[in-house]
Amino acid sequence: MTMQKEQLIKAFSGITGQQAVLADEPMRLHTTFRIGGPADIFVKPSSPPEVRALIKVCEEAGYPYFVMGNGSNLLVSDKGIRGAVISIGRDMSQIRVEETRIEAEAGAYLSAIAAAAEEHSLTGFEFAGGIPGTLGGACVMNAGAYGGEMKQVLRSVTCLTEDREIEELPASGLELGYRSSIFMRKDMIVLSAVINLERGDPETIRGLSADLRERRQSKQPLSLPSAGSTFKRPEGYFAGKLIMDAGLRGYRVGGAQVSEKHCGFVVNTGGATAEDVRTLIADVAKRVKEQFGVRLQTEVRLVGDFGEDA
């Protein structure tokens, strides 16, 4: 272990407590793909001030860092991640309901927020109940499903700004678009958010939530590790149908496979490496481009060392 790494682990432990800092932590334990080599340091802050303090330490030391949620949209290199991974997850997941507002920390699961909304007879968040991610990631990507998206319900987001100040920004200033936001273009980190919902009929809310759950379970390969929808929806097309029409249903590279249940998903059938997935994604994109002239773009984010051709 290098001297700098030892010093940073000590500094991080002073901020979060020793139990929240892990060395050489396998990232396969922290991604829904169940893929990824070790992170040099993995740390779990429990408050916005801790996030800010950890980042300040990294920046002052010139040490690389990466901030993540629950890893539901990540493909981490087999070589792992050099530097520190700051995981905003269960230790920053408080949810508070007040009238028709829900305020939640960035590490709160969307499913937990949807359950809180349902419990308080609030409607408007049913679309997010089955998305396997955290609120922070959902704000960054303007996550959506079944005709709903975060843009429709977000009131404000509290974030760490580029100046490393903690500020609350109104949703109107977040530049929310299809799977995009200001957070993807600027060095800002989501810490919490306020969601505006409406009073609804409890039975109607339960029925809609159950219907969306059934649709997701019947159409998506939830029994195998994946990162959800692999590709963004090309304008005028559906990625899954293009992949299916290209004859790629069930196409495999090593342990990675285009799902036979839904061609828009790449799944880990067991023992898949990040390189298997990356190669498969490249093969699929090339075949679809050749056959239909459509360029597929990934929703999944590649993190770590994949080489210059990635």
> Exactly one of 28, 34, 52, 179 is catalytic; which is it?
179
> Exactly one of 46, 72, 229, 259 is catalytic; which is it?
229
Nearest CA-CA partner of 158 in 48, 43, 69: 48
> Exactly one of 13, 233, 252, 299 is catalytic; which is it?
299
Tokens of 11: 């500094």
Tokens of 85: 């991974």
Q: How far apart are CA 117 and CA 125, in angstroms?
A: 7
- Tell me how long the chain is: 310
Active site residue 96: no
Terminal Cα distance for the chain, rounded: 29
Active site residue 179: yes
Nearest CA-CA partner of 300 in 179, 183, 212, 182: 179
Beta strands 256-258 and 265-268 are antiparallel
Active site residue 213: no
Catalytic residue IDs: 179, 229, 299
